[in-house]
A = this chain, B = another copy of it.
Amino acid sequence: MNLESTKSLVYTEPAALRSAIRAGEFNAHTSGQCPGYAQANLAVLPKTFAADFLRFCQLNPKPCPVLGMSEPGDPRIPALGPDVDVSTDIGGYFVFRDGEMVEEVRNLKAAWREDMVAFAIGCSFSFEEALVEAGIPLRHFEQNRGVAMYRTNIATQAAGRFGGPTVVSMRPMTPARAIRAIQITSRFPNVHGAPIHFGDPAAIGIKDIAKPDFGDAVEIQAGEVPVFWACGVTPQSAIRAAKPPLSFTHKPGCMLVTDLRNSQLAVF
């Protein structure tokens, strides 16, 4: 089943979707799948890099909120679902060697090694669902684009070889909606939480708001300000810069769909 044929198909249960992915029956983007359930970014690193990476996440919780991690060598993360196997349950993977993407694979069975450690990192899908439920329209949804993302001049706190700039996602909205969006996303510290900036892009080192470093540009309309959230691309950039001999990530848009409900992630 390819992307086109699955567009109108929505799984409601994460275990059913993971089972379909595992069986090779689904490899589409997971946006909109399993409403109410948290989706996660995947990062898989050799054990020798994992301790520093975990410390990097602990030091930088806004861009790098860890939802779960595996035992070394074990691709399962039971805390995210009793059957979750990150080597098979995602629709597509990128394989990196020395920080360079070398291959896209359908699963990690062949590439897996006994020293690999998997990290599941919170994803903005969770808070975007809460924003839309609260009646806050998101321009990149309206325009059917990817969210706009930018490298900033806000340095992460380094840990070992992991460091580099904070990457942010940007959503334009009116100040009144931005205030509401700050309230809503504050409830979700495990999926990037409140914004880290709004307004002047130059104040955080963004030279041209019309030219995102990742994703797609979206229009900022009159009366709107850009609102910036810390983004899960930050740890991916840090991993590339750290150049581990081998690492894996999910293919962008094909996330790990977990049994955690977004409402469980809300702190109040």
Closest B residue to A154 by CB, please name it: B176
Instruction: Find chain B residues with CB under 8 A from A175 CB.
Output: 197-200, 203
Instruction: Find chain B residues with CB under 8 A from A195 CB.
Output: 179
For residue A196, CB closer than 8 A to chain B, the reply is yes
B179-A196 in contact (CB<8A): yes
What is the bound-complex CA distance between A176 and B228, given in angstroms? Answer: 10
A179-B203 in contact (CB<8A): no
Instruction: Find chain B residues with CB under 8 A from A183 CB.
Output: 182-183, 186, 194
B196-A176 in contact (CB<8A): yes
B178-A203 in contact (CB<8A): no
Closest B residue to A267 by CB, please name it: B268
B186-A203 in contact (CB<8A): no
A176 touching B199 in the complex, CB below 8 Å, given contacts A183-B182, A183-B186: no
B176-A179 in contact (CB<8A): no
What 15 additional pairs, Cβ within 8 angstroms, besides A183-B183, A183-B194, A268-B268? Answer: A175-B197, A175-B198, A175-B199, A175-B200, A176-B196, A179-B195, A179-B196, A179-B198, A182-B182, A182-B183, A183-B186, A186-B186, A199-B199, A199-B225, A203-B223
What is the bound-complex CA distance between A203 and B15, given in angstroms? Answer: 48
What is the bound-complex CA distance between A195 and B194, given in angstroms? Answer: 15
